[in-house]
Amino acid sequence: MNQRAQAAELLRRVEAGGAYANVLLRDADAGLRSDVYGVLRWQGELDASLSVAVSRPLERLQKEVLAVLRVGAYELLRTDVRASAVVSECVDAIRQMGAPKASGLVNAVLRKVAEADGPEMEVARAGAFPDWLVEDLTAAWGPEEVEAFLLASNTAARPGVRVRPGEPGDGERLEGIPDARLIGRPGDGLTFQDPASVAVVQALDVPAGAKVLDLAAAPGGKTQHLLDLVGPGGRVTALERHARRARTGARRVPDARWVIADGRHPPFTGGFDRVLLDAPCSGLGTLRRRPEIRHRIRAGDVDRLAGLQSELLEAAMGLVAPGGRLVYSVCTITPSETTDVVDGRGFEAPSGLPGRAAGDGWLLAPHLAETDGMFIAAFDA
């Protein structure tokens, strides 16, 4: 298969099979990554252009045909690839995907897109961000900041790494997150972690020798960070509800004590010096890396998750020893999952981080500090 056919097939798997693009593209070359991420990020603009050029509703097209057309439209509207090469490669792609009868349609539609001016659209529509999300964020932040967030969320993220003890601190530093770096490209022997995730554990202010609970631990990135901080005299207990994820986490971070249990009903009586609740969430702060989330998450999903987060937080607050600290974090930016969850519970924003205050917590985001979207709030018992 040529690159356009490969991209179309991966897009079909993301849309129809629920696959995650970042997983499918882990070992892909730059061109293939650009096509897949580009379509997912700008699908609203691409579909608007295709709708003008196609005589039938897009949803009535074969899935393979629509995927190839979206790849072609992305390259025509958002890259410098020659139009003739785009059209020719996409015609070959639909043949390679087993639909040769559609080659004439692909040829005609993409030629029309190439000849027409691209539509002028606001970023929310061009990026196919859901209306409910834009409305919720606009009410909380105002339209200018929302547009800045959406634009930043539609750009590629530079790899982030955490500098572990004894490792060289190569890469670009981020003010306020001393152990985080941004690097130009992945390399071997590095601990890949977005700076926002590094900031979560930093906010917990873990002393050496502490007794720490990671209340929703898998896949274990923050668990390892906690272990690095407590040292040989401390202990990290990692709780995970799902057995398969717990086993994966235990293989990744074997020095933690892994417990399979529901965080809403933890099998502990409390007494932890530090408790981290990095709660399950919609993940909408990770749109730079997982652009397909916008096409999957519904407002009802957020409401359900907010209820779960509130229950987990209620349980977590009872596990902190006097004088200890609890941090609540979510890699999302919806008010329902962030400020609303901690409101009125005695939380405060951690100090020293990049970003801005948000209710009783702190917001990091790609338009504020070149990090994933992350909400962090701290409670001192």
Q: Dihedral angle at the C-alpha atoms of 170, 176, 179, 181, nearest 10 degrees?
A: -40
Strands 160-162 and 361-364: unpaired
> Helix or strand or coil: residue 119?
coil
* Position 81 confidence tier, pLDDT thresholds 50, 70, 90: very high
Task: Give every CB contact of residue 86 below 8 A, 6+ residues apart in sequence.
Answer: 72, 75, 76, 110, 114
Binned at pLDDT 50, 70 and 90, residue 327 comes out as: very high
Establish whether the linkage from the previous residue to 219 is cis, with ω within 30° of 0: yes
Distance CA 106, CA 88 (A): 9
Where residue 381 falls among pLDDT bands split at 50, 70, 90?
very high
Distance between CA atoms of 276 and 3, rounded to whole angstroms?
43
Summary mean pLDDT of the chain = 95
Residue 331 and residue 317: Cα distance in Å, rounded?
20
Name which of 7-16, 32-41, 162-171, 182-191 the model is least confident about. 182-191
* pLDDT exceeds 70 at position 362: yes
Structure tokens at 312: 């987990």
376 pLDDT band, cuts 50/70/90, is: very high
| Length of the chain in terms of residues written | 381
Q: How confident is the model at residue 145 (pLDDT cuts 50, 70, 90)?
A: very high
**H or E element: which one contains 167?**
none
Say which residues have a Cβ less than 8 Å from residue 35's Cβ, sequence separation at least 6: 3, 4, 7, 71, 74, 75
CATH 3.40.50.150 fits 160-380, yes or no: yes
Strand locations in the chain (E): 160-162, 172-174, 177-182, 191-192, 211-214, 235-240, 257-260, 272-278, 320-330, 356-358, 361-364, 374-380
* pLDDT band for position 286 (cuts 50, 70, 90): very high
Backbone angles phi, psi at 260, to 5 degrees: -95, 110
How do the domains of the chain map onto residue ranges?
3-124, 160-380
DSSP letter for 348, please: B
Q: Indicate the pLDDT class of residue 306, thresholds 50, 70 and 90.
A: very high
Mean pLDDT to the nearest integer, 296-309: 97
Which whole number is the average pLDDT over 122-143? 97
What is the rounded end-to-end Cα distance, in angstroms, of the chain? 59
What is the pLDDT averaged over residues 44-52? 97
Q: What is the pLDDT of residues 214-273, one digit of tens each?
A: 999 999 999 999 999 999 999 999 999 999 999 999 999 999 999 999 999 999 988 999
In the structure, what pLDDT confidence band is assigned to residue 188 with cuts at 50, 70 and 90?
low
Query: In angstroms, rounded to a whole number, what is the distance separating the alpha carbons of residues 236 and 25?
Result: 33
Residue 117 has pLDDT above 90, yes or no: no
- Tell me the three state secondary structure of residue 322: strand
Does the fold of domain 160-380 match that of domain 3-124? no
Q: What percent of the chain has pLDDT over 70?
A: 99
CB contact at 8 A, 30 and 93: no
> What would you report as the CA-atom Rg of the chain, rounded to the nearest whole angstrom?
23
Q: Which helix (H) or strand (E) holds 185?
A: none
182 contact partners, CB below 8 Å, separation of at least 6:
158, 159, 160, 161, 171, 172, 174, 195, 370
Which of 15-19, 92-96, 294-298 has the weakest average pLDDT? 15-19
Indicate whether 71 pLDDT > 80: yes
- Which residues are within 8 A (CB) of 270 and not within 5 positions of it... i.e. 6 or more apart? 318, 319, 320, 321
Mean pLDDT of 345-361: 97
E strand residue ranges, 76-226: 160-162, 172-174, 177-182, 191-192, 211-214
C-alpha to C-alpha distance for 168 and 165, rounded to whole angstroms: 9
Residue 313 · residue 358 · CB < 8 Å:
no
Which pLDDT score, from 0 to 100, does residue 167 have? 78
Q: What is the pLDDT of residue 350?
A: 97
- Which residues are designated catalytic? 331
Q: CB under 8 Å to 107, separation ≥6 — which residues?
A: 87, 91
Could you tell me how many helices (H) and strands (E) the chain has, helices first?
Answer: 16, 12
**Interval 174-197 mean pLDDT:** 88
pLDDT, residue 91, reads 98
* β 361-364/374-380 pair status: antiparallel
Superfamily of domain 3-124: NusB-like (1.10.940.10)
Helix (H/G/I), strand (E/B), else coil: 328: strand
